[in-house]
Structure 1
Amino acid sequence: MAETILVAGTASHVGKSTVAAGLCRLLADRGVSVAPFKAQNMSNNARATPGGEIGVSQYVQARAARVSPSTDHNPVLLKPRGDGESQLVVDGDAVGNYAAGSYYEEHWEDALGAAAAAHDRLAADHDVVVAEGAGSIAEINLHHRDLANVETARFADADILLVADIERGGVFASLVGTLELVPDDIRERIGGVVITKFRGDESLLAPGLEAFEERTGVPVLGVLPYDDPGLPEEDSVALPSVGEGAVRGDDDGVPDEHSITVAVPRLPRISNFTDLQPLAAEPGVRVAYVPPSATLAGADAVVLPGSKNTVDDLLALREAGFDDRLREFDGPVVGLCGGYQMLGEEITNASVEGTGSTARVDGFGLLPVRTRFSTEKTVEHVERHVDGVGPLSGASGTVSGYEIHMGESEPTADVARPFADSGAGADDAFGTYLHDLFTNRAARDAFVKNTFEAAGVERLWADQDERTDPYDRAGALVGDHVDPGPLPVDW
């Protein structure tokens, strides 16, 4: 059986996913057969595998490990949909929508069994399993049903690497408090600590590291400098809160007068926002997450992202007057998945997707498309030939991505179909179910070029070299700054 390392955290968003991905790439490059694992994930950022959907971080970690992503890498996925409910996905299949109470009372034991079985299959086929925890491992109110942390450590017989984020302050208090609050058997499994997101002179941190080790007896195995390898984000905590309107991609050195701004409404139930990361990585492209009430006066293009609950998010945008401002907007507009459904004329059987009982909802009317929801869910990898129209005019060739959606959309009138039999495009609007659209260079380059031209902005540095592989960057970050110490691996 494989050795299992559980990368657990003192809190959410401390860098567990990056450390886990870095370990996967580092070990894979050393010739170790390694697989990622997360027993239970809660995220609306998912990816399609041949067996169903999993959280984006485990998809990314599988690629870092150079293995094909599978549902065993994330056997239990909870996708929040509003009003205290989440869609439960077990072994890649959507089981149903449940409130937290009913999930823990009726389905948690089955989820635990599925997670343990998935781990055992991975452990039988690999030398090392790199498991990722969820949130904090020290949530004392959840220790009796903490599937991703406590239960994983137990059924996987895992050594634990504890990760803490220094950027927000209080790192030593977080570490000591976590060690004090975890169950005794879990405390014994913690082999070392990694501190992430450090800025400045590490020598100034040395007295604190020594004092921590003396107090707890747990070694600090590494301090990672603040660095973003460029891996897709999983948690919406990485996005600005509604009302902040923060801009991503504004540190590329391109002057404002040679830049464009892509406005993205910060939907209450936004999902798969990683679709926008390739745009934010383009020099001269600013991706601004704006509240539904925001003006579009400073935007050069608008992208409506995916939503875990298209109907309720559409109604939230309409209540804020966003639909009126969007119809008045004269730049390129792209809708991705749920955003595509919103751009159509109407949504029928809407109660299947919304949390209310509404049967029909008017769309924004920018595309002659009607969407009908059903209980059937599409989850698949796709490759299609793109014949770019509207905001993607000029794009051609094969593009790949994945679809995860409820409902089907059909034209109500003659309209350009950019993917032969799916999607829709007009002069200034484009909609598709294809996630990861902008990871395809042909689609991304066409959209960026057309937006610069529509905005009348001269683009600098249009020809970009390929960037360093983010998986290699994550591996180097861990390999250069972490000593495996007592962990059952070496590099």
Structure 2
Amino acid sequence: MSEARTLLVAGTASHVGKSTVAAGLCRLLADRGVDVAPYKAQNMSNNARAVADPDGETGEIGVSQYVQARAARVPATADMNPVLLKPRGDGESQLILRGEAVAHYSAGEYYEDHWTDALAAARESHARLAADHEAIVAEGAGSIAEPNLRERDLANVETARLADTDILLVADIERGGVFASLVGTIELMPEDLRERVVGAVITKFRGDRSLLEPGIEEFEERTEIPILGVVPYDDPGLPEEDSVSLPPVGERAVHGDDDGVPDERAVTVAVPRLPRASNMTDLEPLAREPGVRVAYLPLSASLDDADAVVLPGTKNTVDDLRALREAEFGEEIAAFDGPVVGLCGGYQLLGDRITNAGVESTDDLDAVEGFGLLPVATQFESDKRVEPVTRELRGVGPLAGAEGSVTGYEIHMGKTRLVGDAQRPFPGDGERDPDGAATDRVLGTYLHGLFENRVARDAFVEAVFAAVGRERPGRADGNGGNVTGGIDAAADRAAALLRDHVDLDALPFPQRGDGECP
């Protein structure tokens, strides 16, 4: 039996607010003096963070568990997300076990040949967390009531059983049919899991709560499960776990246009919506800057309305490069004369060429030509670099004027070297193997989280406004710091939502303090 009490935050569907509820609970418990840790047995996401694994080596976990560890005020480890699947297209995903990349598998191969290994890793990781902490907040995935997945549902069904959890159901009222979703979920859950449900929380509510009372009363009479809270629609600003919040490929969406700054005073940072985009949380700090619109564009879209371009990371650089070429993006980026930044895979795309390309692509390729905006060449290798990093930034190119220490992480395959003259944003890099390169208006770097650092974000935003001759609006309150400050502020907001709108005393955790920060 586990030493720590575990609560599984499970959902009626994907994107109902599980991550926010889990992060808020982690912060509330930590502020009450409870030694709490987050956990998600299996995650599927290309938004990842580099952390320490159980043996002290570096590894990667889903971004939500990194955020929840920050909320819990404990170091993030690979035990918090022992199984991570990173889709790369064509029905395959890279399997990450306890922070370490194993190989790429189809869904059938994973469930037939590797699921028992994943289950064992999940058991071992939970046991270590339970031995080291008083409480665990586990997050489920998607819906907990999927009959077709019941026998291999590691994140929900198996987590509830292996960790002997209580279950808190989360349902999103904005989708409509919230009570039907809750009742249907309970009806379809395995009987032993149904008995573990301690309550439900309704999220994303707008309006007068009293209007819900008849539905709440009938639901509680029918199921004998209490509704512990109704949380109003109020996004605390936590990084997104996956790409569900992004527009589908082929559609355009703009983030950051609700800041009160008139469009004629704003600037637009264009981000091509790569089919295999990863670590899109890199763009979220820019969208929170007043007057900055982050526009996710179809690959075939024109850059005529863009003031800057950021090429994001990608789980498959070569295939996304080919998709961009088919959409004639090369001509668009070559004609664009504003600031350009490439992050990780985007850095590789901006170079002259990529060799040994077959290591990453699903096709047998040797070399492919990049967009040629930076004098660098990348050679893919089977080894993967996963590492939290701190670098001394020297402001060059689109980051001109930036000086100071920046933190982030690297998760990439391949080594990139200079093949011509370029400025180096990180002077401490090896002479021929830089983590970044720049010209006067183009910069590429392997550093994920670059814009989470105020010094880099400020320099880039200033450069974009200067390029179009507009005055930059004042910085938003709470957006002036680095990544840890932003996550901590968001975790506090998530905790406040739960503290004000959820009956926390009904949850099976130690009750200490009043939930205020010590």
The equivalent of 1:428 in structure 2 is 441
TM-score by length of structure 1 reads: 0.99
Q: Match of 1:279?
A: 286
Q: How many residues in Structure 1 have an aligned counterpart in Structure 2?
A: 491
| Matched letter for residue 176 of structure 2 | G
- Distance in 1, Cα, partners of 2:102 & 2:360: 15
Instruction: Report SS of the residue matched to 1:444.
Output: helix
Q: Deviations over 1:400-457 (max 9, x none)?
A: 1000000010010111111122200001100000000001111000000000000112
| SS of the residue 2:318 aligns to | helix
Cα deviations across residues 135-194 of structure 1 (Å, max 9, x unaligned)? Answer: 100111010010000000001000000000011111111111100101000111111000
* Residue matched to 1:223: 230
- Partner letter of residue 217 of structure 1? E
Structure 2 distance, partners of 1:280, 1:462, is: 12
In structure 1, C-alpha distance between the alignment counterparts of 2:390 and 2:479, rounded to whole Å: 22
Matches within 5 A, 1:81-230: 81-230=88-237
Tell me which moved more, 197-206 or 466-475.
466-475
Aligned to 1:488: 508
Q: CA deviation at 1:462?
A: 4.7
Letter in 1 for 2:24: G
Unaligned runs of 5+ in 2: 54-58, 481-485
1:296-331 CA distances to partner (integer Å, 9 max, x unpaired)? 111100000000011101110110011110110110
**Map 1:82-481 → 2, pairs under 5 A:** 82-420=89-427, 421=429, 422=434, 423-462=436-475, 466=479, 469-481=489-501
Q: Secondary structure at the match of 1:116?
A: helix
TM value normalised by structure 2: 0.93
Change in Cα spacing, 1:487 to 1:462, as seen in structure 2 (3 Å) is closer
- Could you tell me which residue of structure 1 aligns to residue 22 of structure 2? 20
Distance in 2 between residues matched to 1:354 and 1:201, nearest whole Å = 52
Greater shift, 239-248 or 425-434, is seen at 239-248
Q: Is the 8 A contact 1:8 1:163 kept in 2?
A: yes
Give the structure 2 partner of residue 70 of structure 1: 77
Q: d(CA) in 2 for partners of 1:464 and 1:249?
A: 15
Structure 1 counterpart SS, 2:210 = helix
2:20 pairs with 1:8: no
Aligned-partner Cα distance in 2 for 1:487–1:364: 54
Distance in 1 between residues matched to 2:476 and 2:29, nearest whole Å: 34
Structure 2 Cα separation of the partners of residues 384 and 148 of structure 1:
36
The letter for the 2-side match of 1:365 is G
Q: Distance in 1 between matches of 2:406 and 2:375?
A: 24
Work out whether residues 41 and 74 of structure 1, in 8 Å CA contact, stay in contact via their aligned partners in 2: yes
Structure 1 CA distance for aligned equivalents of residues 314 and 28 of structure 2: 34
Deviation (angstroms), 1:7 = 0.2
**Paired AA for residue 498 in structure 2:** V
* Residues 463 and 33 of structure 1, relative CA distance in 2, 3 Å threshold: closer
Mapped partners of 1:216, 1:112: distance in 2: 31
Give the partner amino acid of 2:464.
Answer: T
Deviation at 1:466, TM superposition (A): 4.7
CA distance in 2, matches of 1:355, 1:328: 30
Secondary structure of the structure 1 residue equivalent to 2:74: coil
CA distance in 1, matches of 2:62, 2:46: 8
Distance 1:400 1:306 in 2: 17
Alignment partners' CA distance in 2, 1:342 and 1:226: 39
What is the DSSP-based 3-state SS (H/G/I as helix, E as strand, rest coil) of the residue aligned with 2:148? coil
Give, in angstroms, the shift of residue 19 of structure 1: 0.2
The structure 1 segments of at least 4 consecutive aligned residues displaced by more than 4 Å after TM superposition are 462-468
Quick one: distance in 2 between partners of 1:297 and 1:122?
51
How far apart are residue 388 of structure 1 and its match? 1.3
The one-letter code matched in structure 2 to 1:143 is R
Contact between 1:257 and 1:457, CA under 8 Å: does it hold in 2?
no
1:32 pairs, out of 30, 34, 37, with 34
Q: CA deviation at 1:74?
A: 0.4
Q: CA offsets per residue over residues 256-275 of structure 1, 9 Å max, x none?
A: 12110000001001100000
CA contact (8 A) 1:221 1:485 kept: no
> Which secondary structure does the structure 2 equivalent of 1:383 belong to?
strand
Q: Structure 1, residues 341-370: CA drift from partner, whole Å, max 9, x if none? A: 000000000011111112111000000010
Q: What is the percent sequence identity of the aligned residues?
A: 70
Q: Distance in 1 between matches of 2:300 and 2:113?
A: 40
